[in-house]
Amino acid sequence: MRSNRAIGSPRRGVWRHKSGRHLRNTVILSSVALVLVALYCLGSAIVLVLARETTSPELAAQLQERHGGLYGPVTDDSIFAYKLERYTLRQPEVLIVGSRRLAALPGEAFSGSVYNAAGAASSLGQLTAFVRQAVAAHPPKSILIGLDYWWFNPSMESAPQPPSSSPASSPGYAAQLLDPFLWLITGKISPRAIAAALLPSGGDTASIGALAVLNGEGWDAYGRYDNGRHPSGGAYMPTGVDDVRIGPSSKSMAQLNALIAELSGQSIEVLFMLPPIAPPMRSALAKDPENRLIPLWSDAIRSLGQRVFDFQDAVALGATECEFVSDIAAGEVAFLRTLDAISNFGGTYFSQAIDRDMVTSLIGSNAEHVRLAELLPADAPAEALFRHDSCDKDR
């Protein structure tokens, strides 16, 4: 007898069961992934808020004026705008400006009104733009300009202009949520520092920026970069330092000369500093028979007719390698030696702003140190005074 009942495949039920289980596993895994992403975003947002990393550089400068503390964002993109705002707020009689090589120059060494805009420039174009904007906001009586020889390498003429701090150029908040993870994998911030910030009363409530809040390092109210508890935090070693087998750019020299003419027309004293170079590196550069950039550049700067303080030979200042943060950047004590030398020359408004007695005293008590003991945090380890172990002869 013929049956009308359909005969189903025994495999269809099996596949339906497997398909349902696969869908359920996919939903579970997707849900877990979403929860993990949500937890990361929440934790990242909390860290960004606690570290005040999203604070605009202009607002950070204003808050520092009122409450003190340090400003230490993870990147340097905002330093130009921050330094310009700090200078505008303080309206000092003396402006110091240059790259991060001048970051260790302490404001406490002056009796007059001085602001150190170190870090505002990483090229001659950026330095020129900063000086013009600063003078437009408040003309100082004297400007000390720190010059880097690699700025005058013809290949540096295409260096980027100052980064804009406008909202249109700033990364979105969503993009910044990835930053804490990048800090960890690049070693800029330790897991312990982030964990400590999440605890009640963790971090410095007056400071702004992840490096300042989490690491205790950043720019102080005078414009100096405070390395916190570390002997060489914020070490500066730019690209192009070894590229010296070429003559200086005539276009760059003309650009600098034009800036001098503008400032002189406003009766502003202009001084140049050629910052110290660590003795081993300077020796290596001097032994290079094809080194044309540094000697030709030094002569070209002197030919501009301004007062030039050439401190490239650190040994002549009495400084040693131990007083340097890196091969190209002097530490706090070495920079005090430059101020002492400038005060010895006299005859300038800048030299009159230096507290010579304090400078002499601090040099005497901190020789061979990369940092000043008087400026270290109370809980800083003894080794924070020294660049490396061989510099600590008492250990």
Q: Once rounded to an integer, what is the mean pLDDT over residues 244-266?
A: 96
pLDDT at position 390 is: 83
pLDDT at position 38 is: 75
pLDDT digits (tens, 9 = 90+) for 262-272: 999 999 999 99
What does the CA dihedral 237, 239, 244, 248 come to, rounded to 10 degrees?
A: -110
Range 264-296 burial, b when 16+ CB lie within 10 A, else e: eeeebbbbbbbbbbbbebbeebeeeeebebbeb
Comparing 75-79, 159-163, 292-296, the range with the smallest average pLDDT is 159-163
Comparing 138-152, 171-185, 363-377, the range with the smallest average pLDDT is 171-185
pLDDT at position 81 is: 97
Q: Which residue has the higher pLDDT, 134 or 379?
A: 134
**What are the helix (H) ranges across the chain?**
10-51, 57-67, 79-90, 124-137, 173-176, 179-186, 191-198, 210, 250-265, 279-287, 293-302, 314-317, 332-345, 349-352, 356-366
Q: Tokens for 243?
A: 């590229």
pLDDT at position 24 is: 79
163, 169 Cβ separation under 8 angstroms:
yes
* Homologous superfamily of domain range 82-160+237-391: SGNH hydrolase (3.40.50.1110)
pLDDT digits (tens, 9 = 90+) for 315-374: 999 999 999 999 999 999 999 999 999 999 888 999 999 999 999 999 999 999 999 999
Q: Which residue has the higher pLDDT, 265 or 3?
A: 265
Confidence band, pLDDT 50/70/90 cuts, at residue 231: low
Q: Tokens for 226?
A: 């405070």
- Counted residue by residue, the chain has a size of 395
pLDDT at 195 over 90: no
The mean pLDDT value of the chain amounts to 87
pLDDT at position 167 is: 43
pLDDT digits (tens, 9 = 90+) for 67-110: 999 999 998 889 999 999 999 999 999 999 999 999 999 988 99
Q: Where are the domains of the chain?
A: 82-160+237-391
Confidence band, pLDDT 50/70/90 cuts, at residue 165: very low
pLDDT at position 236 is: 67
Range 74-107 burial, b when 16+ CB lie within 10 A, else e: beebbbbbbbbbbbbbbebbbbbbbbbbbbbbbb
* Secondary-structure breakdown of the chain: helix, strand, coil percentages, each rounded to the nearest 5: 50, 10, 40
pLDDT digits (tens, 9 = 90+) for 14-63: 555 667 777 777 778 878 878 877 777 777 788 888 889 999 999 999 99
Range 154-190 burial, b when 16+ CB lie within 10 A, else e: eebeebeebbebeeeebeeeeeebebbeebeeeebbe
pLDDT at 160 over 80: no
* 313 DSSP β-pair partners: 277
pLDDT at 8 over 90: no
pLDDT at 395 over 50: no
pLDDT at position 168 is: 41
pLDDT at 169 over 50: no
Instruction: Count CB-CB contacts under 10 A for residue 377.
Output: 12
pLDDT at 65 over 90: yes
pLDDT at position 139 is: 97
* 226 DSSP β-pair partners: 218
pLDDT at 146 over 60: yes
Q: Tokens for 280?
A: 């081993």
